[in-house]
Amino acid sequence: MEHVLRAEGLRRHFGSGPSLVRAVDDVDLAVAPGETVGIIGPSGCGKSTLLHLLGGLDRPDGGRVLLHGRRLDGLSETAAARVRRTAIGFVFQAFHLVDELTARENVELPALLAGASPREARRRAEHLLGRVGLADRAGHLPGMLSGGQRQRVAVARALVNDPPLLLADEPTGNLDSAAATEVLRLLAELRREGRALVVVTHDPRIAGAADRVVTMRDGALVDETVLV
């Protein structure tokens, strides 16, 4: 079976000498189509660094990343950016929405960048905002939305190019319990529709909803729990 995502011997170190940090140290990880993998571990153990490497947002010092069997780490920056736009959706703890753009425009943006026509981008944005329960907030700026609503806009944006893989870094980290529940429900839906999902989380509910949970410690994956 071909994996959606595969990391082999992935390594990323920062600094040198006594200040050397082995943020990611010889990590192997394979994600099957439709699989949800939770990554948990203490603060500073390297989860975000790993997720950035998996999504091609950062380059490894060693090892490789294969997206649908194709190497991601060796691509030029432009080629990597193209792959990221269409094959991977990102959701971050701090939402990373453009404050000057409305919810709808935020969602449209990656579609336009990937070459969709303005009409097509608009159609997809409207559809996705409806799906995350924000049809009536499409014209709002992020500053007028609650944290939970902003994160749902971010999820809609991550889905606009229909990527088979979603990478999320503590998607409920900035949310209260009720807003986190909404995002949780959304992630469960994405899982059911067969999208592969890698979620870094401190939220036991998200971990408990995964197919598999890996524990990271000091840059390495040290434990695994299979949940289905």
Partner 1 sequence: MQDVVLALLAKEPSHGYELRARLQTALGPLGDELNAGQVYVTLRRLEKAGLVDVRVVGQSDRPDRKVYDLTPAGRDRAAAWLTDLSWERTAPTEFHLKLTAAAASGMADPVALVDAQRRALLRRLAEVRRAAFDQPPGSAAALLLEGASLRLEADLRWLESCAAHWNNRTDEE
Does 48 engage in binding with Mg ion (CB under 5 A)? yes
Choosing among Mg ion, partner 1, ligand ATP, none, which partner's interface includes residue 88 (Cβ < 5 to 8 Å by kind)? none
Beta carbon nearer to partner 1, 117 or 225: 225
Task: Give the DSSP letter of residue 17.
Answer: G
Q: Using CA atoms, how far apart are residues 120 and 54, in angstroms rounded to an integer?
A: 29
Please give the distance of CA 55 from its chain centroid, rounded to a whole number: 8
Minimum CB distance to ligand ATP, residue 112 (Å): 30
Minimum CB distance to partner 1, residue 204 (Å): 4
Minimum CB distance to partner 1, residue 132 (Å): 19
How many CA within 13 A on the CB side of residue 4?
22
**Residues of this chain, 40-69, that bind partner 1 according to CB under 8 A:** 40, 42
Beta carbon nearer to ligand ATP, 102 or 151: 151
Minimum CB distance to Mg ion, residue 56 (Å): 17
Beta carbon nearer to ligand ATP, 145 or 207: 207
With tokens 């030029």, the residue in question is 76
Q: Using CA atoms, how far apart are residues 13 and 3, in angstroms rounded to an integer?
A: 26
Does 86 engage in binding with partner 1 (CB under 8 A)? no
Beta carbon nearer to partner 1, 69 or 204: 204
Q: Using CA atoms, how far apart are residues 113 and 127, in angstroms rounded to an integer?
A: 18
Burial string for 151-169 (b: 16+ CB within 10 Å, else e) reads bbbbbbbbbbbebbbbbbb
**Residues of this chain, 188-217, that bind partner 1 according to CB under 8 A:** 202, 204-205, 207-209, 213, 215, 217
Choosing among ligand ATP, partner 1, Mg ion, none, which partner's interface includes residue 14 (Cβ < 5 to 8 Å by kind)? ligand ATP
Does 22 engage in binding with partner 1 (CB under 8 A)? no
Q: Which helix (DSSP H) or strand (DSSP E) does residue 12 occupy? A: strand 5-14
User: What are the φ/ψ torsions at residue 223 (nearest 5 degrees)?
Assistant: -155, 160
User: What are the φ/ψ torsions at residue 169 (nearest 5 degrees)?
Assistant: -110, 105
Which residues make up the interface to partner 1 (CB under 8 A)?
40, 42, 202, 204-205, 207-209, 213, 215, 217-218, 222-223, 225, 227-228
